[in-house]
Each structure stands twice: as structure tokens, then as C-alpha cells.
Amino acid sequence: MITSVNNEKVKYWSSLKEKKYRNIYQKFLIEGKNLVEEALKQKIVEELIVLGDTSDYDFKNTYFVNEKVMKKISDIESIPTVMAVCPYLKREGYDLERILLLDDIQDSGNLGTIIRSASAFSVSLIVLSKNTVDEYNPKVLRSTAGMFFSVPIIRCDLEEFLKPLKNKNFKIYGTSVTNATTLQNVDKKTPWIIIVGNEARGVSQNLLEFTHENIKISMNEKCESLNVGVATSIILYEFSK
């Protein structure tokens, strides 16, 4: 059992809480039973970190640690019973039918909620802008509630991604109230691309130039706006019908 927070393995694991070191090592940490068990099913776990001296998992590369060490590694106040180290995911062979583009989403909780909803409503691909919050951020991973591995996620220049698809069979929707159609009145035929914008400024104007139609959610006039995670979830639900 590892009991010292100065152990080299512990220092390495703890460093993965920071984006800088995640990118250096091309690894990320997951914590909690749901995410770990899903990662084990996907066969992507490299190291399993277990609190205590016994494990419920038949995994060769398992490390046992005490509470002090687990607290050092974990990003949350309540100490998890299990964590794992995984390599950055190779997203290949994804389906281009129901695509969600996220333009500079900054809040990790929002991104996690959107990933969770995208999984629930059968989005085939999530495309992140280069300035969107890191999908391997611990809070993002927790906010997905175990759904992180169920939908492909890539990161690229959104304009370059859209250019070859603009004149193909895709219907590209922007989430903007300007000249927008109410969500319930939109003709929701696949394949589609939905562009969701930054929490403060919305969808970038250069991306709106690619859209065929803008969509908006009808709301009580007393409500000025919705959280981007909530709004995206509503839109994806309507498009899944």
C-alpha cells in the first residue's frame, strides 16, 4: 500500500489534475465508481487506484492507497473509493449524422451537462472549439455522470470543420435569437449540425454565416435567458423526437 503523499507515483497522479500535465503525459484521471467501471468496460484503464487494501476489481495494474494519499490525488472533498488513469481517447470512425458544435464553452459544469445530454439524446459527435474548456477537466468528467465515454468528442477549428459540410446534405442550425425560428416549428431532419455558443456572447458571427437557420426556445417573458447546459439539453431533446 502507498501511504506517503511524497511517493513519485502519487506526485504523478496528482499532477494530472492540471491541464498542463495532462497534455504532457496525454493521460487523465477519473474518479468514482460509475466512471471507473465504464472505463474498465471500454478497456482503456492503465492504472487503477483503490482506497484500502482490497479491491472489487480484477485488474492487474492496481495500486492500493490510504485516505491521505487518495485525498491528495482527488479533486473532490468527499474521498472516492476508486480512481483510474486513462490515456487520452482516440476518437475515430465517428458517425456524421447528428453533430453538436460547441463554440468556446467556458464553464466545466456546462460542458459536462451538455455531454451527458448529448449521450442521452443520441448525438453522434461533439465538436469542441479550440478555446472550449478542457473535456478532461475533473469537473467536466464528474458532471457527465458516467456518460463521458458514450459519445465521441473531437477538438478542432470549427470553421474548418464546417467548410466541407456547408454545401452537402447537412442542415446547419445556429442557436441565436436573431431572425430565429421557434424550436417547436423547426423541421428537424437528419443529418443536422447544431452550433451552441459561448455563455456570454453566444455563437460567433463567423460561425453564424455557415447556418441555414437560427433556432430559439420559447420562454415565459419573465425569463430572460437559460443556462447554456439547460438550453442545449432542451434543444437536443426536441431534435431527438
Residue 92 has pLDDT above 80, yes or no: no
User: What's the confidence (pLDDT) of residue 41?
Assistant: 94
For 120-166, the pLDDT digits (tens) are 999 999 999 999 999 999 999 999 988 999 999 999 999 999 999 88
Give residue 148's region: left, alpha or beta (phi > 0; psi -120 to 50): alpha
Q: For residue 226, is pLDDT > 90?
A: no
- For residue 83, list its beta bridge partners: 31, 49
Instruction: Sketch out the chain's domains with CATH numbers.
Output: 8-87 (3.30.1330.30), 98-240 (3.40.1280.10)
Closest CA to 147 of 171, 180, 114: 114
Distance of alpha carbon 118 from alpha carbon 126, whole angstroms: 8
For residue 221, pLDDT beyond 80:
no
Section 186-209 average pLDDT: 93
- What is the average pLDDT score of the chain? 94
Convert the pLDDT of each residue in 16-75 to its tens digit.
999 999 999 999 999 999 999 999 999 999 999 999 998 989 999 999 999 999 999 998
- What strand order describes the sheet that includes 153-155? 153-155, 125-128, 98-102, 192-196, 171-175, 213-216, 180-182
Kindly report the pTM of this predicted structure: 0.92
Q: 198 - beta bridge partners?
A: 202
Q: Please count the other Cβ atoms lying within 10 Å of the Cβ belonging to residue 203.
A: 22
